[in-house]
Structure formats: structure tokens, C-alpha cells
Structure 1
Amino acid sequence: MILNKFSRIYTQDDSLPAAQAMLIGAGLAEDDLRKPFVGVCSTGFEGNTCNMHLDGLAQEVKRGLAAQGLVGLRFNTIGVSDGITNGTPGMRYSLVSREIIADSIEAMAGAHNYDALACVVGCDKNMPGALMALARLNRPGLLVYGGTIKGGSYKGQSLNIVSCFEAYGQKLQGQLSDEDYRGIIRNACPGPGACGGMYTANTMAAAIETLGMSVPFSASATAVSAAKTQECLDTGHYLRLLLERDIKPRDILTREAFENALVVTTVLGGSTNAVIHLIAIANAAGVALTLADFQAVSNRVPVLADLKPSGRYLMEDLSALGGVPAMLKTLLEEGLITGDTLTVTGQTLAQNLAQIRPLGAGQDLLRPFSQPLKADGHIQILYGNLAPEGAVAKISGKEGEQFAGPAIVFDSEEAVNDGLARGLVAAGHVVVIRYVGPKGGPGMPEMLKPTSAIMGAGLGDKVALITDGRFSGGTHGFVVGHVCPEAYDGGPIALVENGDWIALDARANTIELRVEAAVLQARRARWQPPAPNAPRGVLRKYIRTVGSASTGCLTDE
């Protein structure tokens, strides 16, 4: 079987001597020109704990490829740190970067005719962006997750990145000294790896391993571990197998695989960002996935994992208990997931798990099915006159499942942060943050800074928050995001005024603005579309091309 069916366009055509000369000039031997070319894409960069080590892992991947007679050619694409940019104008670029990552990997592999791809990823938008590109190209490939960070510690307190955001809320309330505030900051992130709770990076890593697009243990092996290095070296073996069997991403990314991923996201209490990302990945793979599918899973699947942000444990704790494979084996034995889906090992999910022991007695990270943390899913899709196209609620159950109160309205994240600092938000309020959607932000920035300030101020169970923006995987509290249509497009959220009564019900799945229709009609007549919040460049292009959050914030619809 021909394994270099794409790269041979350049390497085996006598009419393309310049291409061959440049490859030889780049360090390849003439014999290498007869081997398959594997693009090794790293999203590594030095300015972020999630990505700082990825270039080194990519070099280990190249070593593993060489041992299998494959030519690894490394290239880089961007990564935007959500943790660093949260609460700043830079956060507007985060979701935009998912499209840039997908487009750049597709362009590089398509232009240079790589026969296969290994993408080394480590932060929130790296993973869906890379997987979208693999699904579009549909050439043998897999993802290598850079791994989770180890937890930090200060004065006996266990720390992670969200500890810093919540410490800010405590500081505003005078509950934390400057010394302890700085101590938390210095010790929260002790080294390489993605944010340690069941935030967006670890949620997507677990979902992608469940989908079958990374090898077993990829999602839960810590960044600084021998297991992660070995995974990189083993990549050559798996990519050669995928080439020899001509197994491509769309053979793996089936409807059944996505349903498994939705179950795992629910059981783990994962990030609401998984909604827009899994819908976008499915679209690239030609699989129809909608908000209704998330709700259908939430109706039948409980939250079992006691993981941060609302729980006690970090991903490294799950790793010590057997990792994502042990959790998957438990779900498989309970009949919650399907085992006959194909994976990048060339085997089915059930075959990968054949020798894995399930999580059982002696641990309380994953609760027994008879004693769930929440009897149904934490991701609840709400509809009503405030969100005719849907909204995504993250409800752990600790903050209740119903909330009603008067609105306090802010037209930007900066405005709500200022309002929180000034004490304008009080118990009983429904905090409305609007004009922060995909077009309005632009880029649908995460509202982690205000939600963390609310938690730090002790208001987590006393207020609700709704927004046409989105939330970090680190967010908890009574929060509803992805309100569609967004305010920028004239959605009903644009018509809310201070004092309006808003009722949220995660049992009935409703989100209602209790204002007479005639009043809303009069407000709509006065409403004016805002000017674009980006005069030029990539953000302006994003405004022109991005679709609704309810369909995954796609730019190629």
C-alpha cells in the first residue's frame, strides 16, 4: 500500500525539482523523499504554563516518528491563553484563535501535502481548533494533549488557577491581606500543564480521548511525567498503523463517538465551552450535533465526578486513580457509553479498555451511580422569550435550580467588573452582561473574572448571571451563557432594563423576561444596532463571518 500518497506529489515528480531541492536543503536525505511525511503541529509558546512545554513534546513526537520510518516535519501555530487574557480586551481573541488554528493547520497540511498529522496541543482553543482541521483534511492523524498541571499550595490551601480569580473577589471584600493575595498568585501555577480542574482544557482532552482521537491516558497523564513523554514516542507507532490501515478522522468521528463524548462531559461536570466546540468539531466531520443532543444526554446522565470548579479534586487526582480510561471502563460497564467506536489505536474503545480496571471502592472522586452529585446533567439548555434560540446553563445543583429576581444590566464586562468593585451587585440580583457575544464582543469572551469575583464576594448562591458571552470551565454558580440571539443582533437580551424581573428554571428549562409584550415592542422600536467593536483586522473579519453560539460559532457556515 502506498503510504506517501500526498507527499509523493512533491517528492516523486521529476517535474518538481525545486521542491525536492528545497526539502533536501532543509536537511532531508534523498531516501527520506520516499517516506511518508507527517506534519507535527505544535501550539507551543513560552508565555503560558499550558503551552510552554509543547515544543519539547513535539520533538519527542518527531523521535518516535523517525523510529517508525516516517519523516516528521514540525511547524507551529498560535495559542491564546484564556487564563492570562481573561478580564481584559485580549480575551476577545481567544475564541477567534480556534478558527485561526484550524485554518492554519488545514492550510499548512493542505499546501505541503502531508500524509498524516500529529497535533501537540495544550490549551482551551488549541484542541478543538486542531481537531477541526484534522476532520476537514480527513487524513490519518491524532492529537497529543500536553497534559494537566500539578496543583499548587499556599499555607496549607490547595490552589489552582481559579483560586487567583476568586482571591480577587475576597480581596475586594477585605477578606484577604495583600500578602496572602500575592502568596496565592505566586503559588497557584507550579509549572507546565493546562489548568488543573475540569475546566475547558481537561474537559476537551477527556472528550477527545473518548472520541478516539487521542491514545488512552492522553487526557489524564500529567504534563511533567514519564507517561506523557512515552505517549509522544509512541505516536510514531500509531500514525504508521493509521497510514497502513488508511484510518482517517471521519472513520473515528462518528455520531456514536460524539454521543459518548457528551456522556463523558456530563459525568465529569465539564465546561460549557464543550457545547460550542463539540458542535463545531462535529460540523467539520459532517456529523449533525445540536443543543437538543446535549439536553437529551443531560436528561439521562448524572454528574458523578467531584472535580473542580464546583467539586474538590483536580485532574491529577483522577490520573492517580487510573485516569480517563478507568472512568471510561466504569461507564462502559454501566452501559452509559458504546464500546464499538473506532479509535486511533486501530482498536475499538472497548478493546482499548479490555485490561483496564474500573473506578470502584476506596475512592470518592467518581461517585457511585446510586449516589450522584446531581441526578441529571449540569449542562441545561434553556429556552424562552429571552433566548428563543437557546441558552446554556451550568447548574451544579449546589446553587439551586431556580432563580428569579430583578435585573441589573451591564453592556460590557468592564462595566460589570466596575459595578462589582463598587458594590452595585446585591443579593437577589440577576446580573445581565450583554454585547459580549460572538459578534458583540467580538469573540464571545469568557466571563470568568466577574463570576469569580461574585464567588469570592460570597454571592455565588445569592445572585444569578446571564450573558450572551460564555464562561470559563472554571466558572461556577448559577450562570447562564450563550444567550441567543445575542444583543448585537437585536436579540431580546438587548431589551432588558434595570429592575426587569427575570425568572430562570433549570428544571423546566426556561428563561423568561417578565415584561409585557407591548413594552418590549416599544423598546425594540427605540433600539439601535451598536457600532462594531473592532474597526479593522481579524476581529472585524470575525464579526462579518461568525455564526450563532447555538450552532458552534462557526465561520464557514
Structure 2
Amino acid sequence: MTFAPAKWPRKLRSQEWYGGTSRDNIYHRGWLKNQGYPHDLFDGRPVIGILNTWSDLTPCNGHLRELAEKVKAGIWEAGGFPVEVPVFSASENTFRPTAMMYRNLAAMAVEEAMRAQPIDGAVLLVGCDKTTPSLLMGAASTDIPSIVVTGGPMLNGWFRGERVGSGTALWQMSEDIKAGKMTTEDFLEAEQAMSRSSGTCNTMGTASTMASMAEALGMALSGNAAIPAVDARRRVMAQLTGRRIVQMVKDDLKPSDILTRAAFENAIRTNGAIGGSTNAVIHILALAGRVGVDLSLDDWDALGRDIPTIVNLMPSGKYLMEEFFYAGGLPVILKRLGEAGKLNKDALTVSGDTVWDEVKDAKNWNEDVILPVEQALTQQGGIAVLKGNLAPNGAVLKPSAASPNLMKHRGRAVVFEDIDDYKAKINDPDLDIDETCVMVLKMCGPRGYPGMSEVGNMGLPPKVLKKGITDMVRISDARMSGTAYGTVVLHTAPEAAVGGPLAIVQNGDMIELDVANRRLHLDVSDEEIARRLAAWTAPGEKPQGGYAKLFHDTVQGADTGADLDFLRGCRGNAVPKDSH
């Protein structure tokens, strides 16, 4: 008995490999048959690549092999031919110097895996924060029909009757240790409570933020972002995604059809409403660069500035992703934005329908988790983009995670020349610092670290913590974890390693932060700044080879997405020439 595939409106890309009786067709088809596939699978049925970021060393994605089986089931049901393809997986909690350094390498690897192999469509199976943007970036550069399904967040953590947010609790408890408020034994006991099931961070960290961004962009089915990893509905979502990608191939619905300017505007506003990670700024700017959408750092400020943060989740609020899902998840947020006139309702999604068609009937089941606007965590959420003589190209701050009393502040700079200098000095009781000072960290940007590590939320000195102080103004060219909090100025551009003004800040300089007026100012004369910059020389050695050298030599600034300069733009999905 043979299977009669559906009639497709055009010749599928995979048929360049598998369709016909030439020597080359038989070469490609015959080898794959050693896996036991019957001949009729190759006669026109779409080949769907399940690009799987599973890895034992990416714990957030450790359950994705099982989830891939559900994706396969959906693809088979819809008449497709699923093939699981392992792709580069970068985990922030294992990769050194930082997973961010390898986001672009992963995107490049994904792009070439899609272009060089017989894939008509792709399911992007992602979880840990860098895997989502890297696979989206790769798919955007090939423009093959693609859809995201995430692994989902962990269940709530609980420790002695209190919610424990993965990441957020780590930062809190490590500060409590230094302040003498918590014992090491208690910290170790709490460790297991932070990560008690499969899945990504259960806070609104970067992983859940990027899952939300994928959904807000229209690149995932409605409701995908918040379903917990171990909830049976996560497996249903995977299977439905498998079904949907087959129809997307038939319709030739590509990333370029979905990732429009309107979609990016929706994502930026969504990030403000959910209190999303500052890391989303870099990832979304990089993704826009891949599809040729003109998007800037200023757009992040203009579009998100008047969006109230209404999702009451750590690190900005008190709940976790499990409650967000029960309350209705991201569709409720998108509906709220639409009702407020802040959603491009006609933006297309992978479902084939508009975003408004998908969310207009969503209901909020818990107004303590998804707050009424008048009870928002902050009326001006989003990402504040700061500029001034200390950050000519911009820096970012997350208002929903900052201390209101520090949003306008003038203080004396305490400078750490790099992360090693910080580690050597921060616990010294003789360090000349108090809570009124501004902590400044250099050489942690894309080139400086290299890779731009999540060290911007510098821990406070113990001498300050012991006074009961929990926040200070901190400025760097680094990133911080989406699970972190505080009045932290990040992504200062140009970075110190390329001679940005941050490089010449000295101990004792006065720095002014004025978030309302979007100002970050070094209180030093223009003449003195010019003199210091003229005398400045880049410290350290450049990488001499390997990917580190490629990264260092071609990475762009944080203000444009920190992509490699030669990777920006869409290169299409042309079939490579056969060498056989």
C-alpha cells in the first residue's frame, strides 16, 4: 500500500534532493532509506526539520527530546515527513565566558543547517534564552517557513512556604549571605527548591521574555509562551505546532511575511507590559537586522515608554510563570494592548490569522497576576533608553526592576576597570564606597569581555549590605540576567573596549542619572573628556584565532544588536549545488 501525498502548489525544495530518478536523487534518497523509510515518503511530501536545541549541558532544554516526539506526531498527522536535526545549543548557566558570545555562532550554524539540507519547513524547538533568538535569527536569514515551540518554564519553586524564583532568588540570597542574613547551609537547602522540574527559569527572565517575544512577533502559536514545561498542554502545543508547519509550507508562509515592522512594534510594547528582560533589546534588534526591518534603540524607548507593566511576576513583581499561565498568559496581554490602541491588530501570525483574531476573546482569570492598568507595577514600563556624554549611542535601564528613589541620582563614581578588578575589590572593607556612590564597571561589552556577560547587576559591597541597603546605581557596558533586578544601567555604548566614554571614567567623577529625562551624564568638561580619550589605549590582548577572533573582529555594538556584521540581512534559501 502506498501513501498518496497531498497536491502541493509548487515543487518543494526537498525535491531537489529526493525527487526523480537521477544518480544524485538516488544517492540522497537511498542513504536516508537506511533508516527504514518507505519509498513513498520521498514522492513530494514536505520534509520538516525539527531543529532541536536539546543538550544535557543545557538544563533548561533537557526535556526537548521528548517534546520533539510530539512535534513529529503532528507533522506525520498533517502529511509531512519529520526529521529531527540537532543544532548548536548555548546555555547561559554553563557556557564561558558567556552564552551571548555564542548566540551568533549558533545562528550561523542554524542558518547553514537549514540552507544546506533538504528542509521545506522548520520547527524551532527552543528553551534557554539564547536558543530562541539564535534559531529565529538563523530562520530569518534563510526565510524558510518556520515556527517556534518553546520547552516552557519550570514549576514554581518553594522554600519554607515562600515562592522561589529561579535566578531572582539566587541574586537575593547571595546578597543575604554577604549581609549576614542567611547561612550557607540554608542557601544550599534552597538550591534544590529553585529548580524543581524541567523547563526554563520560572521568573520573567530572558527565556520567558523571549518566548513571549516569539509569540508577540507572531512566530509561535497563540498561548505558547507560558505553558509550564511539565504540563500536558505543553505537549499538546508541540503536536499542534507540528501540524501547523506542514500547512505553512503549503501556503509558503515565511518569516519575512510575519516579521514586519508592525510585528516588532507589537513585541516591544509587549515587553513593556510584561516587565521583560533588557536582553530582549539586543536580541530583537539583531533579529530585525536579519530581515531588513529598520529598528533602532530609540524605537524601544518611544514604543515602550508609555506602556504600564501589568504582569506581576518576579523579578519586578511577586508571582511566577506558572501563575501567569493560569491567569491566561500572553494572549491576555496582547488583548489588553489591543484594547488600549497599542497593538497592530492586523499583524500576521504563523496561524495564518491576525494577532487580534488570535487574542480578542482571551480572558484574565487572576487580576492579582495580570493587574488592572490602574494597579500597574509602573505606569511607564518598557525599557528606558538613556543618552548623554557617557553613552552617546545609548544605554538601557529597566524601570519596573529599579528603585524609584534612585531613578534620579547624582553620585561619586567608584570604578572597576574590569570584572577581575571588581572581584578583587568589592569585598574589601577599606573600599571607599557608600550607598550614595555610583558603581562603574568597564570592559564587559561585546568585545571587552568578550561576548558581553551578565555581570552588570554587580553585587553590592558587604559594608553597604550590612546597613540594610539593597540597591545602588550601577553602570556598565555589560548585560544582566533577565531574572535580576535593581537600578542598573546596561549596554552602555560605545563600549569601553572600543574607546567609548565609559573607558575614561575615573574614581571620584560625579555621574548624573535622570531616567525621566533619559539622561546619563558624566560631570566632566568636554575638554577633559577629549583629553582623556586622546590619552586612552585599549587594554588587553586581542584573540589570536578561532571563533573568538572572528567574534572580536566583526561583532557590532549592543545598540544595534551585537550581531556579526557579515550576518545581517536575509540570504535566502537557494538550494546548494549538488557536488555528486
TM-score, with length taken from structure 1: 0.94
* 1:121 equivalent in alignment to 2:131: no
* 1:52 equivalent in alignment to 2:62: yes
1:221 alignment partner, one of 218, 223, 227: 227
Which whole-Å CA distance do the structure 2 matches of 1:456 and 1:199 have between them? 24
Q: Deviations over 1:204-227 (max 9, x none)?
A: 111110111001111010000111
* 1:149 equivalent in alignment to 2:154: yes
2:379 alignment partner, one of 375, 381, 404: 375
Which whole-Å CA distance do the structure 2 matches of 1:156 and 1:219 have between them? 27
Of residues 21-30 and 38-47 in structure 1, the stretch that sits farther from structure 2 once superposed is: 21-30
Q: Deviations over 1:435-468 (max 9, x none)?
A: 1100111101111662488897677665210101
Contact 2:218/2:349 (CA < 8 Å) preserved in 1? yes
2:481 alignment partner, one of 466, 472, 475: 472
Number of the residue aligned with 1:63: 73
* 1:527 equivalent in alignment to 2:536: yes
CA 1:70–1:456: 2 relative to 1, 3 Å = farther
Contact 2:156/2:321 (CA < 8 Å) preserved in 1? no
Number of the residue aligned with 1:314: 320
Query: Root-mean-square deviation (CA), in Å?
Result: 2.0
Which whole-Å CA distance do the structure 2 matches of 1:405 and 1:456 have between them? 18
Number of the residue aligned with 1:438: 446
| Counterpart secondary structure, 1:50 | helix
Contact 2:456/2:490 (CA < 8 Å) preserved in 1? no
Q: CA deviation at 1:160?
A: 2.2
Q: CA deviation at 1:411?
A: 2.0
Q: Supply the AA of the counterpart residue of 1:520.
A: I
1:11 alignment partner, one of 14, 18, 36: 18
Q: Deviations over 1:491-546 (max 9, x none)?
A: 11010111110111101111111112333233223211123353432222110110
Q: CA deviation at 1:135?
A: 1.1
Q: Supply the AA of the counterpart residue of 2:232.
A: A
Number of the residue aligned with 1:544: 553
Which whole-Å CA distance do the structure 1 matches of 2:253 and 2:466 have between them? 52
| Counterpart secondary structure, 2:336 | helix
Contact 2:266/2:343 (CA < 8 Å) preserved in 1? yes
Of residues 47-56 and 272-281 in structure 1, the stretch that sits farther from structure 2 once superposed is: 47-56
CA 1:172–1:461: 2 relative to 1, 3 Å = closer
Contact 1:168/1:453 (CA < 8 Å) preserved in 2? no
Segments of structure 2 that go 5 or more residues without pairing to the other structure are 1-7, 569-580
Q: CA deviation at 1:4?
A: 5.5
Alignment of 1:265-414 (within 5 A): 265-357=271-363, 359=364, 363-396=367-400, 398-400=403-405, 401-414=407-420
Number of the residue aligned with 1:96: 101
Which whole-Å CA distance do the structure 1 matches of 2:313 and 2:489 have between them? 20
Q: CA deviation at 1:370?
A: 2.7
Indicate the percent of aligned positions where both proteins have the same amino acid. Answer: 32
Q: CA deviation at 1:297?
A: 1.5
Contact 2:312/2:377 (CA < 8 Å) preserved in 1? yes
Which whole-Å CA distance do the structure 2 matches of 1:153 and 1:337 have between them? 36
1:198 alignment partner, one of 185, 204, 216: 204
Contact 1:446/1:472 (CA < 8 Å) preserved in 2? yes
Contact 1:168/1:456 (CA < 8 Å) preserved in 2? no
Which whole-Å CA distance do the structure 2 matches of 1:186 and 1:121 have between them? 24
Which whole-Å CA distance do the structure 2 matches of 1:109 and 1:339 have between them? 31
Which whole-Å CA distance do the structure 1 matches of 2:546 and 2:434 have between them? 39
Number of the residue aligned with 1:503: 512
| Counterpart secondary structure, 1:261 | helix
Which whole-Å CA distance do the structure 2 matches of 1:11 and 1:452 have between them? 60
CA 1:375–1:326: 2 relative to 1, 3 Å = closer
Number of the residue aligned with 1:485: 494
| Counterpart secondary structure, 2:396 | strand
Q: CA deviation at 1:265?
A: 0.1
| Counterpart secondary structure, 1:450 | coil
Of residues 456-465 and 509-518 in structure 1, the stretch that sits farther from structure 2 once superposed is: 456-465
Which whole-Å CA distance do the structure 2 matches of 1:303 and 1:216 have between them? 21
Which whole-Å CA distance do the structure 2 matches of 1:352 and 1:250 have between them? 20
Which whole-Å CA distance do the structure 2 matches of 1:456 and 1:33 have between them? 65
Q: Supply the AA of the counterpart residue of 2:156.
A: G
Which whole-Å CA distance do the structure 1 matches of 2:469 and 2:64 have between them? 36
Alignment of 1:413-428 (within 5 A): 413-423=419-429, 424=431, 425-428=433-436
Segments of structure 1 that go 5 or more residues without pairing to the other structure are none
Number of the residue aligned with 1:175: 181
CA 1:326–1:190: 2 relative to 1, 3 Å = same
Q: Supply the AA of the counterpart residue of 2:561.
A: G
Which whole-Å CA distance do the structure 2 matches of 1:286 and 1:525 have between them? 36
Which whole-Å CA distance do the structure 2 matches of 1:70 and 1:456 have between them? 58
| Counterpart secondary structure, 1:447 | coil
Which whole-Å CA distance do the structure 1 matches of 2:524 and 2:130 have between them? 38
Which whole-Å CA distance do the structure 2 matches of 1:155 and 1:461 have between them? 22
Contact 2:107/2:135 (CA < 8 Å) preserved in 1? yes
Which whole-Å CA distance do the structure 2 matches of 1:490 and 1:63 have between them? 53
Which whole-Å CA distance do the structure 2 matches of 1:521 and 1:330 have between them? 48
Which whole-Å CA distance do the structure 2 matches of 1:490 and 1:294 have between them? 25
Contact 2:106/2:135 (CA < 8 Å) preserved in 1? yes
Q: Supply the AA of the counterpart residue of 1:387.
A: A
1:111 alignment partner, one of 112, 116, 137: 116
TM-score, with length taken from structure 2: 0.91
Q: Deviations over 1:135-187 (max 9, x none)?
A: 11111110101101112112222212221232122112221112201111122
